[in-house]
Structure 1
């Protein structure tokens, strides 16, 4: 499928990352980190620049959705990436001069619209970060007061109990043996809550080391009256599950259950002739989920093991009318099982480079099977992106170049609109 590289430049902004903003950061530093991350935009010289311009339209669509839903950081990142791409990076593309004048003019108009919006959003985020930082400082102050209060109670209770424990070294009635009693001050608290550290879930666990001779045993104290203040996890920066750039995981792609059935029915005549059929999966962003709402069957040329779209402008025009985002593609294997061939890998690569959640759906009618696939992000994506071979050619199978797309969720009740452009 030749049109794959045009897919959503929204994805240029969609690299999965670790959390880059924390409530305990100075607001200006927090904003700087967000801007630095947003400026990380690359342009592949092997992808036609016109397709970046097409994808930029979808990038803004997603940014506007995030803004309307109140996900300001996600919207700001997309706006900044859009500006970085089209004010700076795209001009370095070797084929930049081939972009039609009218396309550049439309892009310039969009830039004039985005620039003030991004500046306003920057101020909103800065105010939000200041509020977060003030709230963080207040929480730390309250936790510190609570810690001192609990420490005082624990120390007092131990101190009051010491005389009675010293009168019984054999463990009289109602008293534990002296050997089991903790001396006053053995329960030590950190001077500052900031000194409490937590393991980083992204790092491998450290190898255990022997405790220092002076360290108290890690077992719980035998005297239940000794109150050990619980660590309040609220001191750790929270992770908003709705935050695209904090989650470090792919957004869910919701696929209507009828997609495979309807597509195979529409491809049946080609399947009987041993010809592949392909289609585009498009939809919308809603509440940080990518929802397939439309299946577009474009004009195309197919063989027994490949399929290429034609008249791509028809697809673009239709998606523009409904503000649709391209979420992936679907095709048949008339005589084979469901997997990604070497040609399929190269077809899908631009989809996933531009949108990490992009999915490749393969239907195998002869075997009554269908699969959702994606390139492995740690190996397959980079390997195929750097491969310059065309047509069918062998690739190494280890490590795997593709895998099942586990972020796809099939919803049998989701509506689907099917558009067949082949007869138009």
Structure 2
């Protein structure tokens, strides 16, 4: 029912205005000066991969949104990053080539959406016109029935006993009033249809205030990027990761890995787990040679969906260092998850930064290493947008 209301609201918006709202929403992307610009360039490629999937699946609005975000990010916003000059020229060249590919595609998609919006709006106007016509017909019929019901009822006829003479021309006839029983006829009252109350009888027509968006639903709900997509996690991710990390765990050293996959039918599916070259301590882990990860993801058309690491001797939670590691992942993809495996306590945690507080708080925190953070309001929470299923998983261990 809610989806029907959203659809009805969107159809009521004039085509050009509807397209403008979509464009305005797509331009909201911002660049965090504390996230390395190369991360944005990597994320941009994944953004295009997701847009292409949406396009192939026929979800044209989401495809167009992502193409616009990509263009806004790299034609305008990224140049304001304080470290923009540090981006390798090869990365910039590849990005420019991708822009040249997307610009005409986005323009054609814009016209297709405008045609669709025009058809939606025309159908909406026709529907309202038909509803108004039917309501007018019902009102006219109701008025006629009321007038008919208000006509005066003709007086009831009076019946008298007929006096028949005893004889005519010398011939005698029996008096029916004496020898037969009299019959009284009572005419039935004319039947009239019931009258209708105009207020109850006429249907209410849908009304939309185009100057406002519905609270909690409508355009913002349909296009809100923070309405999280489900993340499908293969059940073997955790067991395989703990097995690969066992040697480090025995030495009280953390191990970390990257979770990557694909977008399919508006669901993010983890299909690959990559263990990069890394340096670990009892309470931290740092990846090295990240280009190896990027090359592998490019070759397999993979999207970064999150990361996984162990707490060899601690429980499942996100430390201050973990919070800062998670932040860039989640800034670039709201659904990004952090999985924490705790072999000693045989427990596993699936976490995200709280979107309404923790994400922005950590993004604004300039401290590094281990440092205290306030516990209230909560900076992270259990990820409730995950599904654990028995699906295939490929593992790449680059530490070897």
Q: Does 1:300 align with 2:314?
A: no
Q: Is the 8 A contact 2:138 2:202 kept in 1?
A: no
Q: Is the 8 A contact 1:19 1:246 kept in 2?
A: no
If you compute each CA radius of gyration, which structure gives the higher value, 1 or 2? 2
- Aligned match of 1:194 in 184, 193, 207? 207
Give the deviation of 1:147 after TM superposition. 3.1
Q: Does 1:262 align with 2:276?
A: no
SS of 1:194's partner is coil
CA-based RMSD: 2.9
Partner in structure 2 of residue 34 of structure 1: 22
Distance 1:154 1:360, change over 3 A: farther
1:58-111, CA deviations, whole angstroms, 9 ceiling, x for partnerless residues?
111111111111111111111111111111111111111111111111111111
- Aligned match of 2:86 in 77, 98, 109? 98
Which whole-Å CA distance do the structure 2 matches of 1:65 and 1:85 have between them? 20
Q: Which runs of 5+ in 1 are unaligned?
A: 1-17, 165-180, 204-236
Q: Does 1:326 align with 2:326?
A: no
- Aligned match of 1:253 in 231, 238, 258? 231
Q: Is the 8 A contact 1:244 1:288 kept in 2?
A: no
Which whole-Å CA distance do the structure 2 matches of 1:67 and 1:294 have between them? 23
Q: Does 1:114 align with 2:88?
A: no
Q: Is the 8 A contact 1:244 1:251 kept in 2?
A: no
Q: Is the 8 A contact 1:20 1:33 kept in 2?
A: no
Q: Does 1:358 align with 2:346?
A: no
Q: Is the 8 A contact 1:327 1:358 kept in 2?
A: yes
Q: Is the 8 A contact 2:351 2:380 kept in 1?
A: yes
SS of 2:254's partner is coil
Partner in structure 1 of residue 125 of structure 2: 137
Give the deviation of 1:320 after TM superposition. 0.3
Q: Is the 8 A contact 1:21 1:34 kept in 2?
A: no
- The TM-score with structure 1 as length reference comes to 0.77
Distance 1:103 1:199, change over 3 A: closer
1:362-394, CA deviations, whole angstroms, 9 ceiling, x for partnerless residues?
111111110110011011111111011111111
- The TM-score with structure 2 as length reference comes to 0.81
Alignment of 1:183-222 (within 5 A): 184-185=197-198, 187=200, 189=202, 192-194=205-207, 200=214, 202=216
SS of 2:10's partner is coil
Partner in structure 1 of residue 353 of structure 2: 375
SS of 2:207's partner is helix
SS of 2:370's partner is coil
SS of 1:43's partner is coil
SS of 1:418's partner is strand
Q: Which of structures 1 and 2 has the larger relative contact order (alpha carbons within 8 angstroms, sep 6+)? A: 1
Partner in structure 2 of residue 5 of structure 1: none
Q: Is the 8 A contact 1:375 1:381 kept in 2?
A: yes
Q: Does 1:394 align with 2:394?
A: no
Alignment of 1:135-174 (within 5 A): 135-151=123-139
Q: Is the 8 A contact 1:343 1:391 kept in 2?
A: yes
Partner in structure 2 of residue 230 of structure 1: none
Distance 1:320 1:379, change over 3 A: same
Give the deviation of 1:244 after TM superposition. 6.5
SS of 2:271's partner is strand
1:215-273, CA deviations, whole angstroms, 9 ceiling, x for partnerless residues?
xxxxxxxxxxxxxxxxxxxxxx799xxx9626862100000011111100111111111
- Aligned match of 1:50 in 9, 31, 38? 38
1:14-59, CA deviations, whole angstroms, 9 ceiling, x for partnerless residues?
xxxx999811111111111111111122111112212211211111
Which whole-Å CA distance do the structure 2 matches of 1:249 and 1:86 have between them? 24
